[in-house]
């Protein structure tokens, strides 16, 4: 049963029907659209800051030998780049999309806990300010990799470790508050007639993601706290000399870290499941199987963490268990890819920018998935482990996966948000520049990795020079391509051809019933879902 009231005065506590003027609107807002916009702009800013760090990494690796930066600073760049892209770009972008879209997709007036929503956003800039400020401390910022393995982060790290721990705690609090909000909203504010199996797939994927966040964020909090006490308070959780175990750190970290990887990809599945049917002019093939596949991916994600640890000397039984579980998780993922392709099969396809990014996502994410299957084979993983092959694998999943899906979502819903159509020609330019450069950037990494080039090291053997020069050129081209995206966004926000309410022929869902741009409060009277 939906608990929504049809009384028009029911939501009077949301203040006026027009946003307050000036900066106050953004600081005090409890409106889901404003908070969604803040999250998306914050994620875009962090994407460019994290990207600038990637440019430092690629500039250093352009030629063999030490060129531009000290090895210690190189390590800080790889560490902070990873932390910013994971916690500052991908996750806040998905949360921004959730804030904007979930209430509109389920026919709710707003998120269920609007004040907590404001708070969950506004603590984020402080978390990242702390992390970035640590780079300017004496001894530099965190330089132990985004996975902060002990004893690198306990015994051999600088004093900035305390700031790193504090900032990760704040990010985690923000994530948990956002997840609680999503769950409460979806459970309590669905419009009458919006049953579980009528919810859009984006809503489903976010609901499952929110449960994952609540399950694993406390594990991360526990891990960073143990690192803190090992470093500053004389405990020895991860110090063998005091009866601890450094491998224990890896088990706890990856018990958080592997579900985290799925937290960064499940909402992407929801986005692609919205876009592909629209531009295929067909309903999504196998809706129910997509819901069950998403749920099974979430459950299996808790059983595969130690595939990151095949080289730590686990018992053979454990290695076999984690190998088979990792292979098993490929099955529901394969179901999704099959369903997207089946949706396009014999559809009346058109190739607007959102659809092009969605198709690129399906193809390139599949490449990332297949290299993941290679990494799942325990004896083969001994060869690939800690090489650039792993870097290629997870960047195919997170850049051409998560980030391409976020860009696809931006193009798809931008006309709905702004009331203007974006510049299609510029969008096409952005797509082709991104597609070509991202493959020049990451595809050769498979080869240097298989040939044995180790990751996270600022120098390399001479035989890898040509490939690395090519990879760096791809990296700079990909970075510059994203400036086109900013141009598209600015141009679209400023004006352009007015968008209709439905925007795309073939788009289905409650959000397309609202005007473009939607009113400040989406559904003051809940729609009746037939």
Please list the active-site residues: 81, 110, 146, 174-175, 258, 260, 262, 273, 307-308, 333, 336, 455
Give CA–CA dist 36/218, Å, rounded: 24
**Nearest partner of 361 among 303, 276, 481, 462, judged by Cα:** 276
Angle in degrees, 0-180, between the axes of helices 287-300 and 316-344, rounded to the nearest 10: 160
**Nearest partner of 441 among 484, 412, 403, judged by Cα:** 403
Half-sphere exposure of 92 (CA within 13 A, CB side): 30
Region of 15 (left: φ > 0; alpha: ψ -120 to 50; beta: rest) is left
Q: Which burial class, exposed, middle or buried, applies to 65 when counting CB atoms under 10 A from its CB (0-12, 13-18, 19+)?
A: exposed
Give CA–CA dist 235/480, Å, rounded: 46
Write out the two tokens for 275: 């876009």
Exposure string over 453-473, b if 16+ CB within 10 A, otherwise e: bebbebebeeebeebbbbbbe
DSSP label at 345?
Answer: T
Give CA–CA dist 76/492, Å, rounded: 36
Angle in degrees, 0-180, between the axes of helices 91-106 and 404-418, rounded to the nearest 10: 40
First to last CA, the chain: 15
Half-sphere exposure of 173 (CA within 13 A, CB side): 17
CA distances from 231 to 63, 82, 152, 241, 433 (A): 36, 22, 10, 14, 45
């Amino acid at each position: 049963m939906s608990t929504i009231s049809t009384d028009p005065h029911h939501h009077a506590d949301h203040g006026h029907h027009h946003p307050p003027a000036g900066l106050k609107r953004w600081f005090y807002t409890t409106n889901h659209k404003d908070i969604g916009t803040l999250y998306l702009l914050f994620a875009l800013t962090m994407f460019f800051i994290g990207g600038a760090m990637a440019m430092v990494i690629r500039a250093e690796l352009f030629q063999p030998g030490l060129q531009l930066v000290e090895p210690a600073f190189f390590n800080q760049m790889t560490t902070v780049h990873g932390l910013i892209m994971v916690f500052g770009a991908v996750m806040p972008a998905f949360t921004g999309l959730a804030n904007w879209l979930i209430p509109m997709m389920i026919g709710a007036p707003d998120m269920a806990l609007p004040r907590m929503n404001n708070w969950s956003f506004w603590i984020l800039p402080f978390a990242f300010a702390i992390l970035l400020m640590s780079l300017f401390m004496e001894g530099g910022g965190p330089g132990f990799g985004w996975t902060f393995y002990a004893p690198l982060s306990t015994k051999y790290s600088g004093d900035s470790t305390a700031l790193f721990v504090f900032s990760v705690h704040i990010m985690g609090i923000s994530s948990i508050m956002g997840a609680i909000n999503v769950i409460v909203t979806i459970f309590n504010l669905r419009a009458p007639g919006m049953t579980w199996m009528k919810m859009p797939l984006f809503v489903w994927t976010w609901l499952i993601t929110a449960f994952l966040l609540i399950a694993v964020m406390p594990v991360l909090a526990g891990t960073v706290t143990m690192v803190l006490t090992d470093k500053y308070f004389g405990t020895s959780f991860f110090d063998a000399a005091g009866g601890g175990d450094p491998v224990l750190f890896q088990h706890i970290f990856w018990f958080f870290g592997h579900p985290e990887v799925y937290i960064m990809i499940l909402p992407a599945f929801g986005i692609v499941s919205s876009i592909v049917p629209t531009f295929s002019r067909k309903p999504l093939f196998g809706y129910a199987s997509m819901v069950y596949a998403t749920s099974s991916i979430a459950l299996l994600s808790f059983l595969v963490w130690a595939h990151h640890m095949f080289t730590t000397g686990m018992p053979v039984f454990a290695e076999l268990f984690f190998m088979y579980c990792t292979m098993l998780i490929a099955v529901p993922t394969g179901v999704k890819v099959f369903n997207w392709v089946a949706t396009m099969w014999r559809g009346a396809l058109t190739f607007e920018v959102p659809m092009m990014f969605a198709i690129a996502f399906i193809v390139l994410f599949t490449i990332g998935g297949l290299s993941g299957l290679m990494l799942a084979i325990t004896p083969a993983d001994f060869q690939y482990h800690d090489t650039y092959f792993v870097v290629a694998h997870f960047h195919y999943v997170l850049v051409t996966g998560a980030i391409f899906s976020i860009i696809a979502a931006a193009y798809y819903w931008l006309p709905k948000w702004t009331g203007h159509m974006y510049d299609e020609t510029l969008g096409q330019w952005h797509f082709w520049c991104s597609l070509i450069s991202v493959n020049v950037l990451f595809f050769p990494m498979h080869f240097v990795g298989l040939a044995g080039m180790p990751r996270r090291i600022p120098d390399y053997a001479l035989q890898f020079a040509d490939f690395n020069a090519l990879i760096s050129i791809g990296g700079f081209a990909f970075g510059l391509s994203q400036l086109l995206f900013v141009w598209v966004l600015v141009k679209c926000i400023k004006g352009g051809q007015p968008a209709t309410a439905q925007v795309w022929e073939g788009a289905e869902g409650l959000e397309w019933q609202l005007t473009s741009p939607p009113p400040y409060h989406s559904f003051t009277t809940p729609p009746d879902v037939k």
